[in-house]
Amino acid sequence: MEQEMVLISKPLVDMLLVQLTRAEYYCAHAKSINDPSVDIVNDDATTTYAGASGYAGATLRSAIQTLESAIEPRSTI
């Protein structure tokens, strides 16, 4: 059985790896919004569970769209 392959540019793969690694870091280090060390006004939104989850969700959506577009047949119009 012949293996099918898709082509994704190295810069795009590198960008996805940076985003996915960052999302993993945010999720692993997220804190409760009730944590006394969290400054909800001045801290980055990804400091909290909600912000980390939002970033991770958007990153996964980007990765999914990138992979889907790599396997979709291209129009020859």
pLDDT mean over 24-36: 96
What is the pLDDT averaged over residues 11-38?
96
- Which whole-number Å values give the CA distances from 63 to 39, 68, 70, in the listed order? 31, 9, 11
Residue 52 lies in a domain: yes
pLDDT at 4 over 90: no
pTM over 0.85: no
Is residue 10 a part of any domain in this protein?
A: no
Has residue 61 got a pLDDT over 70?
yes
DSSP single-letter state for residue 43: S
In a domain, residue 25? The reply is yes
- Does residue 49 belong to any structural domain of this protein? yes
Which domain does 49 fall in, by range?
Answer: 21-34+44-68
Instruction: State the pLDDT at residue 74.
Output: 62
Mean of the per-residue pLDDT values for the chain? 92
Specify the number of domains making up the chain.
Answer: 1
Residue 74 covered by a domain: no
Q: Which pLDDT score, from 0 to 100, does residue 72 have? A: 77
Within a domain: residue 26?
Answer: yes
Establish if 13 belongs to a structural domain.
Answer: no
How far apart are the C-alpha atoms of 69 and 67, rounded to whole Å?
A: 5
